[in-house]
Structure 1
Amino acid sequence: MSISATAVRFDEHTMWVDLSDGRTLGVPLAWFPRLLRASPEDRARVELSRTGLHWEHLDEDISVAGLLAGRGDTTSTSDAAA
């Protein structure tokens, strides 16, 4: 059975991801600069898929596997600033 995201919510500093196995992950927004800079409305426009989270308008894709492994944004610093 693969683990997928079932819901996403945010507070001031954290992205909370509910998983299909019943766990909830709290991930610092500082790990994802595009989400950190985004408005609450933009953050809410997330698309959930079998493998992860996608924000088309923010050009942000986050895999559940990456979150479980403790990986943040792997974009280079120059790309993340764009």
Structure 2
Amino acid sequence: MNTVVNVTEPRILHAQITEDEIIAHLVDGRTISVPLIWSWRLAEATENQRQNFEILGDGQGIHWSDVDEDISVEGMLYGSPARHPYHPANQAA
């Protein structure tokens, strides 16, 4: 018995951003989502900034120019939340 292996990397066909999720519809028919809070930049962005995105390249990811954020399809499938930079209130000079 032969098994066909698809070596094509997952690609985003189109995406939507809700109040709570980043949802990617893939070329192969799958739909994946991650919580919006995984991206602190998007979680802190306005609705207009969140909706101003573009699909990168041939569907490898999503880019939000207003908040300088990129999320790859691989990051959505296998990644973890982006860490918010640490800014201590009292820094020693």
1:1-82 aligned within 5 A: 1-49=8-56, 50=58, 51-73=60-82, 75=83, 77-78=85-86
State the secondary structure of the residue aligned to 1:62: strand
Following superposition, which runs of at least 4 residues in structure 1 exceed 3 angstroms of deviation?
none
TM-score scaled to structure 2, two decimals?
Answer: 0.72
TM-score scaled to structure 1, two decimals?
Answer: 0.80
Structure with greater helix share of residues: 1
CA contact 2:24–2:32 (8 Å) conserved in 1: yes
Structure 2 unmatched runs, 5+: 1-7, 88-93
Aligned-residue RMSD, C-alpha: 1.8
Task: State the identity as a percent.
Answer: 35
Structure 1 unmatched runs, 5+: none
